[in-house]
Structure 1
Amino acid sequence: MFVLEKLEVSAGLHTQDSTQVSDATPIEATFHALPGELILGRPLKKGAPGKSDILCANDSSISKEHAVLQLGSTPGYGLGPTVELKDISRFGTYFRGQKLENGGSVSLQNGDVFKLGHKTCFRLRLKPILLYSSTDLLPDLKAHASTLDAHVCTKWSPQVTHVIQEAGSELVPAAVAATLTHFPVVTGAWLAAMTSRKFFAAPDLPNPAVYQPDAVLLPQPSGAGAPYMRTPFSAVLALRSETQLLQGLHFTFSRGFEDAGLQACISLLGGVVSEAPSKESLMVTSGTCQTPTDALPPAMSAITAAELLVCITTKDRGALNCRLASPTQPPRKVLLPPGQQQQQQQQQQ
C-alpha cells in the first residue's frame, strides 16, 4: 500500500528550495492508496470536485489537474514497486529542486518529496503488507489481497504485518504472536473493506480493530464432551499484560516439528526455547490435544502444541507445572510464576 503525506510548509517557501522539508516537517493530511493511477489537483470553482482524486485547496499555483501518480504493484515482498510522477500542470512540478518538463515524469522511491506549484509538498511512503494465513485464502480474499498488493505467507515471521483469523475458527499461534507484538489480527472482511476504494483519507481508513474476530475456538482433550471450546478473542488480547506467564519454563520442539508462531509466543511470554532437550524442559510435539506417544529422553515430559496453546490462552500456568511433575516421571520441583515464588520464599522464612 502507498501512503501520501501532504506536508505543512511555509507559504513563502520558494519552488526550488527543499531545505525546509524534512522528516520533522508536520503532516497536514495523509492518504492511503492502492496501486493504480491518482490525479492530484485543485477543486473547481464553487467547490465542485473536478477530475482530480486528491484535491489541494488554497493554492492558486496548482492546476485543476496538476500531476499524475502511477503506483505500480510490487513484484515480491520487500521489493520496491515502480512509482512514476508525471507533470501535466501550468505552474510546474518540482522534484529535488528541479522543475519537471511539462509532460515529463520521474521515478519516486520511499521517502521522496515532491512539490506541486509554489508551496504544496507531498511525501511518498511505501507500506508493504505481509499477510499470514494458516490455510489458503478463498478466491475472493485472494483477489482482494492482490488488489491491495498484499503478499501472503503461511509461516510466521517478524515481517508479518497482519494475521488472518476468521471468527469461529481454530486459534492459530501466529494470531497470539501478532497480538503480543501489537500487530493486527483481522478477518477477511478487512481485506474487502481495504479494497472498497482506490484511496482513503486517514480518518476513513478501515480500522483493523473493528475487524478482529469476536471469538475463536480452542481444541479440547478427548473425553471433554466437545472437540472445541468457543473463547472470546478478548482472552487473547489480555495476554499482552502477561509477559512473564512462561518465565522460568524451558521448551524443546520435537525433531521434525517446527512452529515459528508458537516459538514466538513462548519467547514473548518469558519462556525459553532451546534446541537441546533436558529433564528441566517440556518437549513440544505436533498433534491434537492427546497425550503424545513420541519417544522421550529419560525423565522428560511432553506436551502437544495444541495443549500448550490452550494453556497459554487460558493463562493456565498450573497445567504446565503439573506436566513438568508428570506422575510417569520422577517428581521435580514445580516452577511457579515469579510473584508466587517470592511469596513462597517469604512463607518458608
Structure 2
Amino acid sequence: MKLHSLALVLVVYFSIPSFAKQCLENRGAMDFGSGTTKVLAVRVDVCQKKILKVLFEDRLAISFNEAFEKSADHKIPEKFWQEALPRIQVSVDKLRAQEIKKIDAVATAVFRNAKNGQEVIAQMAKALGIPIQIISQDQEAELGFWSVLAFKSWSPQEASMVVWDIGGGSMQMFSWNKGHPQIFRGHLASVSFKNEILKVLQFKNPQEVSSPNPIGHNREAAIQLAKNHAVLNVPPFFKNLKPETKWMGIGGVLSMSIQKQVQRNSTQFTAEELAQTLKDRAVLSDTQIEGDYKISEVSNLALVLGYMQALHIPSVETVPAALGQGLVYKKLNLK
C-alpha cells in the first residue's frame, strides 16, 4: 500500500511540470494603426488565462493617416504602403522568430476611412502571410479596454474606469455602466486635429503644409477648438461622470506623446501640468522637437487639454498598452 501511494505521489509530482508546460504558448499580435504599426510577441498561460511576459515588441512610425489626409482621391497612396512593407516585414520576421503559435492582426481607423482601405490591407496581408482584420470603432474601443485589463491583470468585473484611446485617426472612450458598454466614437484625433489647426486657425492647406509648428499665439484658440468638439460630440454619459472617476489613457497620443512631454518618468498627468507644458512648448518649431511625430506633438497637447477641460477630467493615468495586448488577453478570457 505504501509503495502504491509513493508511486502515485511520484507520478503526480513529475506530471506537474509537464502539465504546466502544456499551458504555455507564445502568441503574436499586430496592430496596423493610423500612425504607428505595433508588433507584439507574448508568452501566455492558457490555463490561468494570463499574459506572463512580453517576448518582443516593436513600434514602427508609419503615418498611413498623414498620407491618406494628403491624398486628393481619399486613398492611401500605393507608393506609400509599398515602401512601408519592407520595414513591416523585418518586424514580422522577428515576431516569427519567437516560435509563435498564432498571430492575430487588426487594422484601425485609416483603413476604415480610406476608399482603398480593404484593398490595401488585403494586399499587405498576402505579402506578409498574416490574416489582418479591419475592425470597427466599437471593436477598437473594446480592445483598448481589454488592453488595460491585460496590463493591470484585472478581470472585467473589477474594472471601474473609462479607457480613453487617441491615435492618429480616431478617438475612443469606453466604459461599462450597469452591464452595458458606453462608447464614444470620435473622429478628431492626432492628425485630423493638427490639420484643423492648419485650416481653421492658420489658413493653410494641410495637403501642402504638414506642420502647424510653432503654434504660438494660436495656443488658446487650439484648446478652444478641442473643447468645442468635445462639448458638441461626447455623449452625456462621459460628461456627467463623478470627479473621482478613474481615466486610463492608452494609445500613441496619451500614453506616449502626452506622458513623455509632460512628465517622462511618470504614469499620470494633470490638467494643470498639461496646460503648463503646452504653454512652454507652443513656441517650438519642428527643428526644436525630437522624435518621429514632431509635426503633431504640440497639437496633441492642445487636443487633450481641450477635452480634459470640457469634460472636467482632473487627471489621467497612462498605461503603455496597445491593442495587441487586448487582442491576446480577450481571446484568452473569452474562450
TM range (shorter): under 0.3
Relative to its length, the structure with more strand (as a share) is 1
TM-score by length of 1: 0.27
TM-score by length of 2: 0.28
- Structure with the bigger RCO (C-alpha within 8 Å, sep 6+) is 2
Relative to its length, the structure with more helix (as a share) is 2
